[in-house]
Structure 1
Amino acid sequence: MKPLALVVLLLVMSAPVARAAAEVVPLPADKQAFGTARSTASPVWFTLGHQGLSEIFHPDLSTPATRETRLLVDGKPGQAHTEPADTKSLTFRQRLRGDGWHGEITYVTDPQRAAVLAEVEVTAQRPVRLSIDHVPLNGGTGEVVSTLPTEPVRHAHGTFVVGFGEGVAKAALRKGFGAAAREYAQGWRTYLDGLERPKSADRRLYDMSVMVLAATEDKTHPGASIASPSFPWAFGTDRELAPELGPYALVWPRDLYHVSTAMIAAGDRGFAERSLDFMLREQQQPDGHLPQNTRVDGTPVWTKVQLDQVAAPLLLAWHLDRRDESTMDALRLSADYLLSYPNAPFSEQERWENQDGYSPATIASAVAGLVCFADLVRRNGENGDRYLAVADDWQRKVDGWTATRTGPYEPKPYYLRVTKDGNPDAPTKYNLGDNNPADIDQRAVVDPSFLELVRLGLKRADDPVVTNTVKVVDRQLKEQGYWHRFTQDGFGETADGGPWGINFPVPTRTYGRLWPLLSGERGEYELLAGDKATAAQRLRQIAAVANSGLMLPEQVWNGRGTTSATPLAWTHAQYVRLAWSLDAGRPVERPDVVVNRYGS
């Protein structure tokens, strides 16, 4: 299909506003909606901002093609309130208000082609003139066609289409919004009707979460699920930091693992099967490790080594009982990489991605991954003892590497976020990054991520170091009912709400806000601790921060999502997984083979 440059056909429409692509940066990352057809014949995804369509992705989910497409009334946009137009599809409606006028726009994509359709109705107190503001991004293309009046009117009803490819927009317009919308909705209804629902979840948010997770999978590259269709803060504006408007529109093995285990719980096993294939066929490097992230075609972008991500396919394969020869050969490469990595389980980066060292969370993933792989090996009639020997050694040593007895908090001992030297009692200092101006004693930095030791089966919920650390983390990191990632996290906004960025040589202090997905992890722990009522409260806490389009954010403050990545697939996955865990009475993703080995 030959791509077109931006063409606006003035069938009955006044001229659009066009801006030079060189001047364009993405819109704020707090998307109000995210949609695509269930059909793979429609490689186009839309997002909605606060004034209309924000980034449209085409031809894949790593490629934003447009910045925005807005309805203008007398040359000005309205302020939009977004809501689902259908509880069982990714169909969204925006109610707009402006000076003396109001309107509604409903959005879908054409399941048979790369086109976004918008049905528009406007009512005004005076005659007004309608136009479309369409802004391409990064050389993106888009053809816009419409049936809206050009002359001033008090009432208008029509459709506009953004299409990609020769004649696509015209074909979608001829098909009509109604036919496209019915086919679009039926695709999602058929998908949802094939899945069970947990009793514990809010049905509307649960269905939305499952659909959002399904929509994050690329259609040209099956199994490639991006972290978020958004570009928060400096990742949208700083081309030196993020030349390709990344990194959220990339595939991270860790996020992909969490989304896949949620989809297994939801009943979409095929999603997880494709994800594992993508990890092992597209992301895995010749030495067995998986890079920090990749484009949807598997091309590495950031290349740091995170051992928890290396372990991710080992864990996912165990959940899927994948023991075919090709899969096992690839898994063995990753398992051997864990064993041969210099000073393992020291990792070049832990799961928050800006520190090296010994991390309880990373060690938990590596140990669990090795135990799971050894179990797959055993079930294939082979001997996996060498993997178990290393796993057992690391499990025995994790406290010695990461639990301090000399730190500033009580009760002791408690787990640290990371140690630089494997000596948690040493006053070793390091810089937290993200605009923190001074170094900090490693013994003063804690992180809720240590709960991976319990969730993945290395430790009991009532282990004394675990319960000590729960108390320390709550005192240091809990605020407004949610948790920060770690002590003095700087990945977030300035004190006055300004965006995060890399501010050197004199940093402007930024503040990481509260992460709803951590409430989900805490709920999984509380289930294991026998407190189902509080675990259920955690599910409600996640639900409480959904925006009006039912999108769940990366970070929240004062009960609302910030301009962080929204929707964040990991947050939606955590909601889905905790809901099923509540129904089951235990974390559904906890590997029994690890639990049985360590008596946890």
Structure 2
Amino acid sequence: MTFSIRLALWGVVLGLCGCAGGRAPGQPGAPALWTPANKDGFGTARSAESWVWYTLGSGDLTEVYYPDLGTPSVRGLRFIVVSGHSVTEFESEATEHHVELVDPRSLVYRQVNTARSGGYRLTKTYAIDPERNTLLVDIQFESLDRRPYEVYAVYDPSLSNNGMDDSGRTEGDVLLAWDGATASALISQPPFERTSNGYLGASDGWADLHQDHAMDWTYRSAPDGNVVQTAKLPVGAPGTMGHVTIALGFGATLTEALGAARGSLRPGFEQVAQRYMEGWHGWLDSLPPAPASAQPWQVTYDVSAMVLAASEDKANPGAFIASPSMPWAWGLGELEKPSGAYHLVWSRDLYQIATALLALGDRAAAERALDHLFQVQQRSDGSFPQNATVDGTPHWSNLQLDEVALPIVLAWQLGRADRETYTGHVQKAADFLLAHGPVTPQDRWENQSGYSPGTIAAEIAGLICAADLARRNGDTASAERYEATADAWQRQVEAWTVTTHGPLASHPYYLRLTKDGNPNAGTAYSLGDGGPSAMDQRRVVDSSFLELVRLGVKPAGEPLIAQSLAVVDAQLRVDTPNGTYWRRYDSDGYGETPEGEPWDISEPDTGRTLGRAWPIFAGERGEYALTVGQPAEPWLAAMARSGNDGYLLPEQVWDGRPPSGQPGFETGEGTLSATPLTWSHAQFIRLAWSIQAGFPVEQPSVVACRYTPTCRR
């Protein structure tokens, strides 16, 4: 059911009459849900003074984050177009729309929505004021058929990550909204002609205009509910190109929010946008030029770099989130109230981001990431939470041992051999691995415990890196303990995770994991995330064993690696018009249903949802290709081609199974999964620099020199 139909039905059910007045009826309104996660635009100012981030999707402004990247405070800003007294429509639903990157070296996006009827075009360009907490939207409305139109802005605040407790009111031509901690102000130049405050589906602008194609309601206030504010724009005259600038300002108080909005309107959109672009230009200019391998994909490379930088919270330096989105059940209020999951900080994802930032030349950002991990996230026992909010508060408290090991590897890569880092952080993490490894309570897909070759690879690399840092600090005894344990695990990993008579091949191959350390046992387990409730562990493979090669724990040329890749390809490989990708593991359920409906954790282990193919695996395969002397450029190209019109890389792409092939669900294009996924952008950047170097640039040489014939110091 479309958004507009839901609103219409709410209005009918409540039976509300249209009238002007003081307080809007229909409190609290329909439930507040977040928008789809497949964003095609994302931006923030490069400056530290502005704490606003915006996202775009399907022709609309979607979530806006303020005052940090863990706090969505806006659900969306949409526009309703009324033609005469007969047609009222949301412009994004009634138009063909596309997004443009206005400047390939800054995160300035433009949405161009042209009515399928041929009657009008609405063009919206977005920029953040680098000096204030304001989003500016430059709007041009064209009447293409010389008929008169009316255009209305429909603003849905969800302040402080909760859309059900906002209040709104009109003051003059200004729309103000607030809750207990945050306020917003929506104003325009020229000023709005008419305004109203209401509740979603009950007394909002759509419920009003849909009745008789006229704005009859002008409610001055709507306290404590799912507030939606409506304003008539001074555009739409026949045969004209109307122009208006909207300012959406934020603050801790109404005064701050209104001051920000007015302050940004004074210089005008062009000046603010120019300063916004200059901030990104300056940062890109401070970096080395893109490597030759990325030059065919220069815009994707620059956008990837900027997405990584934009994903760092400004109030909490070094806290880079996984994605500014809430896919599937995470956005429907079924799992997180307030929202969570993807706009959290994972130690694993932060390692991926930091190594990419180090590769592209922003060492300072990688250092901030490590500082955040060690000084903010790390627990007193040396471990790290599964994930945390941007201020370091643990969100999910599960334990994943690769997330304990990878910060050690990052510390080694950054050369952080000082005594405070070693004794206060590295040593604690390494000792935790000794006490709790190699069996992990959760692997890198976060839903299984056991002996995981990918996790064990990270543990071994972490211990060897810790041993090197220990020796630099004169702690020979610890170094020897770390090395002895790492060596034992390196020798034993195959016995724990390689089946010699599994049903998927006549030769040995790595499993995703074993529950019991016995890879020849047909131990069954529930896959979780909507997958089957009982699978023989010998039938479940993934490509995580490639971490053994990437981190230097096993030689790339081992026959077992190639044999295992053959099994992975037979089970998980997906060839698409955009390139080759892989699914996570057999019978993965983390994705949409066959009909394209959202993944839903409320129905676990049903097999109804299908995890599709992930672009990051093309990047990981490219890193492996380099280690065996094969070209990796095709894998870089596959990653780039998975991007959308805004050059944002997705978590998953449609893989040929339903609903692929239906309009809007093309094989090889992004699904409704998290987009942009910072891990995808980090993998793209890192592979580009690895191609330049001829080997995986994040491979710790101290590990590779111990276990493989290849030794680069």
TM-score range, shorter chain: over 0.9
Matched, 1:127 2:222: no
Superposed CA deviations along residues 45-100 of structure 1, whole A, max 9, x for unmatched, are 00001132100000000000000012332253323311200011011111112241
Give the 5 Å matches for 1:566-585.
566-585=675-694
What is the aligned counterpart of 2:372 among 252, 258, 278?
Answer: 278
Matched, 1:90 2:107: yes
Displacement after TM superposition at 1:130 (Å): 1.8
Deviates more, 1:328-337 or 1:556-565: 328-337
In 1, the alpha carbon distance for the partners of 2:583 and 2:681 equals 18
Displacement after TM superposition at 1:19 (Å): 9.4
Match of 2:293?
Answer: 200
What is the aligned counterpart of 2:469 among 376, 383, 388?
Answer: 376
Matched, 1:551 2:648: yes
In 2, the alpha carbon distance for the partners of 1:326 and 1:457 equals 27
Match of 2:591?
Answer: 492
In 2, the alpha carbon distance for the partners of 1:22 and 1:61 equals 26
The answer to whether the Cα contact below 8 Å between 2:531 and 2:605 also exists between their aligned partners in 1 is no
The answer to whether the Cα contact below 8 Å between 2:345 and 2:387 also exists between their aligned partners in 1 is yes
TM-score under structure 2 length normalisation = 0.80
In 1, the alpha carbon distance for the partners of 2:25 and 2:470 equals 61
In 1, the alpha carbon distance for the partners of 2:35 and 2:114 equals 20
Match of 2:336?
Answer: 242
Match of 1:34?
Answer: 42
Matched, 1:530 2:629: yes
The answer to whether the Cα contact below 8 Å between 1:66 and 1:141 also exists between their aligned partners in 2 is no
The answer to whether the Cα contact below 8 Å between 1:411 and 1:471 also exists between their aligned partners in 2 is no
The answer to whether the Cα contact below 8 Å between 2:59 and 2:99 also exists between their aligned partners in 1 is no
The answer to whether the Cα contact below 8 Å between 1:51 and 1:77 also exists between their aligned partners in 2 is no
Q: Which amino acid aligns with 1:191?
A: W
Deviates more, 1:79-88 or 1:354-363: 79-88
Q: Which amino acid aligns with 1:372?
A: C
Deviates more, 1:346-355 or 1:152-161: 152-161
Helix, strand or coil at the partner of 1:524: helix
Q: Which amino acid aligns with 1:162?
A: L
Displacement after TM superposition at 1:506 (Å): 8.0
Match of 2:281?
Answer: 189
Displacement after TM superposition at 1:198 (Å): 1.0
The answer to whether the Cα contact below 8 Å between 2:526 and 2:605 also exists between their aligned partners in 1 is no
The answer to whether the Cα contact below 8 Å between 1:404 and 1:425 also exists between their aligned partners in 2 is yes
Match of 1:563?
Answer: 672
Match of 1:345?
Answer: 438
Matched, 1:147 2:189: yes
Deviates more, 1:347-356 or 1:501-510: 501-510
Q: Which amino acid aligns with 1:370?
A: L
Displacement after TM superposition at 1:410 (Å): 1.8
In 2, the alpha carbon distance for the partners of 1:39 and 1:495 equals 43
The answer to whether the Cα contact below 8 Å between 1:417 and 1:447 also exists between their aligned partners in 2 is yes
Matched, 1:478 2:587: no
Q: Pick closer, same or farther for the CA change 1:297–1:506 going to 2, 3 Å.
A: closer
The answer to whether the Cα contact below 8 Å between 1:18 and 1:133 also exists between their aligned partners in 2 is no
Match of 1:3?
Answer: none
Matched, 1:367 2:409: no
Displacement after TM superposition at 1:325 (Å): 2.4
Superposed CA deviations along residues 335-381 of structure 1, whole A, max 9, x for unmatched, are 1110111xx20000000000000000000000001101111122233
In 2, the alpha carbon distance for the partners of 1:293 and 1:23 equals 27
Superposed CA deviations along residues 469-522 of structure 1, whole A, max 9, x for unmatched, are 011000011012210000110000101111101143783610000000010000
Displacement after TM superposition at 1:245 (Å): 1.2
Q: Which amino acid aligns with 1:563?
A: L
The answer to whether the Cα contact below 8 Å between 1:115 and 1:168 also exists between their aligned partners in 2 is yes
The answer to whether the Cα contact below 8 Å between 2:553 and 2:703 also exists between their aligned partners in 1 is yes
Deviates more, 1:111-120 or 1:169-178: 169-178
Matched, 1:317 2:391: no
The answer to whether the Cα contact below 8 Å between 1:250 and 1:295 also exists between their aligned partners in 2 is yes
Displacement after TM superposition at 1:104 (Å): 1.4
Superposed CA RMSD in Å reads 1.7
Match of 1:356?
Answer: 449
Q: Which amino acid aligns with 1:82?
A: V
Match of 2:6?
Answer: none
Displacement after TM superposition at 1:170 (Å): 1.2
Match of 1:301?
Answer: 395
In 2, the alpha carbon distance for the partners of 1:211 and 1:151 equals 34
Match of 1:12?
Answer: none
In 2, the alpha carbon distance for the partners of 1:413 and 1:245 equals 43
In 2, the alpha carbon distance for the partners of 1:391 and 1:280 equals 22
In 2, the alpha carbon distance for the partners of 1:314 and 1:411 equals 38
Give the 5 Å matches for 1:4-83.
23-74=31-82, 76-79=89-92, 80-83=97-100
Matched, 1:267 2:368: no
What is the aligned counterpart of 1:292 among 378, 386, 389?
Answer: 386
Helix, strand or coil at the partner of 1:130: strand
Match of 2:662?
Answer: none
- The count of corresponding residues between Structure 1 and Structure 2 is 580
What is the aligned counterpart of 1:251 among 322, 342, 345?
Answer: 345
In 1, the alpha carbon distance for the partners of 2:25 and 2:186 equals 12
Name structure 1 gaps, 5 residues minimum.
1-15
Superposed CA deviations along residues 382-427 of structure 1, whole A, max 9, x for unmatched, are 3111111111111110001000002112242110001000110111
Helix, strand or coil at the partner of 1:556: coil
In 1, the alpha carbon distance for the partners of 2:321 and 2:684 equals 17
Match of 1:162?
Answer: 248
Displacement after TM superposition at 1:175 (Å): 2.4
What is the aligned counterpart of 1:112 among 109, 122, 131?
Answer: 131
Deviates more, 1:411-420 or 1:21-30: 21-30
In 2, the alpha carbon distance for the partners of 1:333 and 1:76 equals 59
Match of 1:389?
Answer: 484
Name structure 2 gaps, 5 residues minimum.
1-23, 83-87, 167-181, 191-232, 655-666
In 1, the alpha carbon distance for the partners of 2:462 and 2:25 equals 53
In 1, the alpha carbon distance for the partners of 2:302 and 2:701 equals 28
In 1, the alpha carbon distance for the partners of 2:607 and 2:601 equals 9
The answer to whether the Cα contact below 8 Å between 1:18 and 1:135 also exists between their aligned partners in 2 is no
Matched, 1:444 2:536: no
Helix, strand or coil at the partner of 1:142: strand
Superposed CA deviations along residues 404-453 of structure 1, whole A, max 9, x for unmatched, are 00211224211000100011011100011122343010001000111000
Displacement after TM superposition at 1:334 (Å): 0.7
Q: Pick closer, same or farther for the CA change 1:464–1:17 going to 2, 3 Å.
A: farther
Match of 2:217?
Answer: none
In 1, the alpha carbon distance for the partners of 2:623 and 2:359 equals 14
In 2, the alpha carbon distance for the partners of 1:257 and 1:76 equals 45
In 1, the alpha carbon distance for the partners of 2:605 and 2:388 equals 31
Give the 5 Å matches for 1:390-469.
390-469=485-564
What is the aligned counterpart of 1:504 among 593, 603, 607?
Answer: 603
Match of 1:9?
Answer: none
Match of 1:586?
Answer: 695
The answer to whether the Cα contact below 8 Å between 1:17 and 1:134 also exists between their aligned partners in 2 is no
The answer to whether the Cα contact below 8 Å between 2:418 and 2:473 also exists between their aligned partners in 1 is no
Superposed CA deviations along residues 316-339 of structure 1, whole A, max 9, x for unmatched, are 001100122221121111111101
Helix, strand or coil at the partner of 1:254: helix
Helix, strand or coil at the partner of 1:260: helix
Deviates more, 1:154-163 or 1:542-551: 154-163
Helix, strand or coil at the partner of 1:243: coil
Deviates more, 1:502-511 or 1:205-214: 502-511
In 1, the alpha carbon distance for the partners of 2:151 and 2:498 equals 64
In 1, the alpha carbon distance for the partners of 2:602 and 2:395 equals 22
The answer to whether the Cα contact below 8 Å between 1:227 and 1:248 also exists between their aligned partners in 2 is yes
In 2, the alpha carbon distance for the partners of 1:101 and 1:282 equals 51
Helix, strand or coil at the partner of 1:133: strand
Match of 1:7?
Answer: none
- Bigger Rg over Cα: 2
The answer to whether the Cα contact below 8 Å between 1:358 and 1:401 also exists between their aligned partners in 2 is yes
TM-score under structure 1 length normalisation = 0.94
